[in-house]
Chain A
C-alpha cells in the first residue's frame, strides 16, 4: 500500500540572475514497512527532497511545484498541515548527532517539549513515555540519563536520542538524512539495525538518504538514485545494484571500492580519459627516482603519545594514551595502511611521523636516522623535505588567500631558495599537469575549485619537494565516491611511476583494501594486528579485526 506519494516535486532557489533547481519533477512513492534509499553525490538534491517533504527548505529556496500526499492528504496544500505533521506524523533524523541537539537543554526537556507540542499528555505522562522510548532505542539507565545534557552522551548514543526525538510522537513516516555518516562503522551498524527493527515493529515508512552504497545494499528495500536534482532511476535495490540501466548509476556503482577483492584501477565512466589509462606523470624527468628496495624506510619503535588537558594532574584520570607503545615498519616503495575508528590514534601517529607532534616516548627512524632525536633545525629540514603530508579536509588545508601557484611554490622555495622564476613556473606547471589539472589553474584561488580538485592541489603541493614518504590522512573521506575513485587512481599512478612510499590512513576498509600492500589495525591507541592486505581480509587473526570486517557495509551482499 502506497503511503507517501511525492508527485512532480520541484524545489528551486531564486538567485539574482537565475533560478537554480535543487530538485526537478521528482516522483517517489514509499510504502509502509519499507525502507527506501535515496542515494546520490553531494549536490544531487537528495537532502533537498527529504527536507521538502515537510517544507523545511532554507531561504531563498522554495517548493515551486508538485504535491506530497501522505495517506490521502496533500500536506503541501496549506502550511497548517505541514506544521501539524512535522514531528507528529513525520519524523526527521539529521546527519550529525553532535549538532542536532540543543546543547543547553537536557534531553528530557527536549523530549517533553516535543511530546507536549503534539500529544495532549501531562508532564508526568510525557516523561514516562520518553523514558520508555529511550529504553526502546537502547539507552541504558534511561531514568537517570533523562536529565543529562547532550554533551554527556557519545556520538552513537546521541544519535539514539535523536531517533527517540524523531519517534516520540508516533510518526508513520521517518526521514533519515545520512543518519550514520558521522559515526564509526561499529556504531553505524547498530544504528542501522535499530532503524530496521523500528521499521518492522512500528510499520514505518522510511526514507534513508545516504551517499554510501554499502549502506544502501544492506539496509534498503528499494532505492532511488538522484543526480543534479533529477531522479535518474528508481527500483528494487537488488535489481538496480546488479543491473543498473542508467549511465550515471552504472558509474556510481563502479566507483564504489569493492570489499571482497582487490582491483588494479577504478573504472571511471563518462570521463575524458576513455581507455582508463594511467596518467602521464610530467615531473618524472625531474624526479630522482628511487629503487624499490624492500628495506625499511620508516621504522617506528615503542611509540607512545599521551595527552593531558591539565598541566598539574599528570597522573589523574584525564590522562589519555592516544598512542600506546606501537612499533611497525614501512618498507621503501610500499603503501602501508593504518585503519581504526575515531579516537584510535591513527592521525596522532601521522602527525608524529611528520614531526608536528613530539612523541611522549619511543623513536621514529627514517632511512635509519632517528628523527625524533634531531635537535638542529637545519638537520630537521632535510627530513621535512622527504616527508610530506596530505590532509583530510581539502577546504581548510589550503590557504584561501594565496593563488594556487603560490601555494605550490612555497615548499619549493623553502627548500631551494635560489630557484629562478622561469624554472619555478615550469616546475609548477609540470606538477599541476601531473595531478591532472590544467596550467591555467595556477593563477586561480582555492575557492574556485571543487573538493576533488583541491585535493589534487594538495597532492601537487606535497609532491613539490620530491618526498620519499607521503603521509595521507583520510585523503578521500571528504569526497564523493566518484571523485574518490579518481583521486585514488591518481595516487596509485603517482606511486607506481615515482616509486613513492605511502602511509595511508583511513577508517574506510574497502578503500584501504584497494590501496594498501600491508595494513595495521588500531584500536584505542594499540596496534591489534599487522598483516598483508589480502591476508588480513581473508584470514583475520585478531577479534577486533574480525568484528570490523563483519560490520563493514558490503555492496556485494546484494549481488547475485
Chain B
C-alpha cells in the first residue's frame, strides 16, 4: 500500500487508521459487524471499496459460470442418456474414455491446450479477455458483441468439462439402474413404446439426483473459475481473488470467500425448493388412503 519513501511516522499513522494496531479480537469483531452489513472495507492494493470491486467483476464471472453450467448440464445429460441406453455401443465407449480424460486432466492443462489449438494454431478464437463488452448500467455483458461471444467459448468449455463428465457418469448410472426397475418392466409389459419408456418414464426419474448434484456443482464451478479465469485472463472475481492473494489483500479475499459461501447456501436452498416441484413424493405427506 505504501511506497519506498514513506516515512515510519506515516506508516504508523496508516496502520492506526486501518485499525491494524488493535488486538485481534477487536479487529475480528469489527470485521464481523461490518461484513454483516455488506461492508468489507477498502482494498489495500487498489484503494477502492471492496464491494464496488466485487460488483464490477461479478457480471464476468456469472456469465462464465452460467454458460459453463448450461453446457455441462445439457451435454452431460444428453451424453449420459446416450451411454446409459446404448451400453455396449462403440460410441459409448469412446464417450466414456474421453470423459475419463476430462476428469483426470487438470483444468489449467486443458485451458492451455485449448489456447494453443484454437488461438495459436488455428487462430479462430481469442486467447484471453472478455472481448468487447456492452455496459447496461448495472451489468456489463459480453453476450451482445461478436467478439464477446467468441471470447466466452474457450473459457466456458474448459470450465464445464469437469462437471460435464461428472454428470455424464451420474446420468448413465441412473439410467442403467432405472431401466432395471420393476416399473419400467411393468411399463414394457403394458406395451408402452420404448421411446416413451426411456425418455418419459426413465429419464424423468433419473434427473432427480442430477438436480442435487448440479446445484452443488454450480457452486463448485464458481470456485473452479479461479483457475480458468487466470488461464484466460478473464476479468472476473476469481482473477481478482488470485491478484489479491499475491498482494495479501485480505479485505478482497474475505469478501470473496463470504460471497462464495453465500452463493453455495442460496443454490442449495433453491435446489431444495425445486425438489418440491419435481418429486411428488415430497409434495404430499401423510396423505395415504387406507385399504
Contact = CB atoms under 8 A, between A and B. Distances in A.
Interface of A: 54, 56, 58, 83-88, 91-92, 94, 96, 99-106, 113-114, 117-118, 145, 149, 151-154, 156-157, 160, 162, 165-166, 169, 187, 317-318
B47 interface: no
A429 B288 CA distance: 50
A318 B193 CA distance: 41
Contacts of A113: 192, 196
B187 interface: yes
25 contacts: A56-B188, A58-B180, A84-B191, A87-B192, A91-B190, A94-B189, A99-B182, A99-B183, A100-B183, A101-B186, A102-B205, A103-B183, A103-B280, A104-B204, A104-B278, A105-B201, A113-B196, A114-B191, A114-B192, A145-B289, A149-B284, A154-B289, A156-B291, A166-B190, A317-B286
Contacts of A100: 182-183, 185-186
A87 B191 contact: yes
A154 B290 contact: yes
A317 B285 CA distance: 11
A87 B281 contact: no
B153 to A, nearest CB: 36
A16 to B, nearest CB: 15
Contacts of B16: none
Interface in B188-244: 188-193, 196, 200-201, 204-205, 208
B272 interface: no
A56 B189 contact: yes
A157 B191 contact: no
Given A83-B191, A100-B185, 17 more contacts: A54-B189, A86-B190, A86-B191, A88-B191, A91-B189, A94-B185, A102-B183, A104-B204, A105-B200, A105-B201, A105-B204, A106-B280, A114-B190, A117-B192, A149-B280, A154-B290, A166-B190
Given A104-B204, A152-B288, A86 B189 contact: yes
Contacts of B278: 104
B86 to A, nearest CB: 13
Given A102-B205, A104-B205, A105-B201, A153 B288 contact: yes
Contacts of A58: 180
Contacts of B190: 86-87, 91-92, 114, 117, 165-166
B186 A92 contact: yes
B8 interface: no
Top 7 nearest A-B pairs by Cβ distance? A87-B191, A87-B190, A86-B191, A92-B189, A99-B182, A149-B280, A100-B186
Given A103-B280, A113-B196, A114-B192, A94 B186 contact: yes
Contacts of A96: 182
A169 B191 CA distance: 10
Contacts of B281: 103-104, 149, 151
Contacts of A318: 286
A554 B205 CA distance: 41
A83 B290 CA distance: 36
B189 A87 contact: yes
Contacts of B186: 92, 94, 100-101, 162, 165
B181 interface: yes
A149 B283 CA distance: 10
A54 B188 CA distance: 10
A117 B187 CA distance: 11
B288 A118 contact: no
Contacts of A83: 191, 193
Contact of A103 (B200, B205, B284, B286): B205
A321 B185 CA distance: 37
B135 interface: no
Interface in B257-286: 278-281, 284, 286
Given A152-B287, A153-B288, A101 B191 contact: no
Nearest to B196: A113
B285 to A, nearest CB: 8
Nearest to A149: B280
Contact of A118 (B182, B191, B284, B289): B191
A94 to B, nearest CB: 6
A9 B182 CA distance: 24
B181 to A, nearest CB: 6
Given A152-B284, A154-B289, A156-B291, A101 B189 contact: no
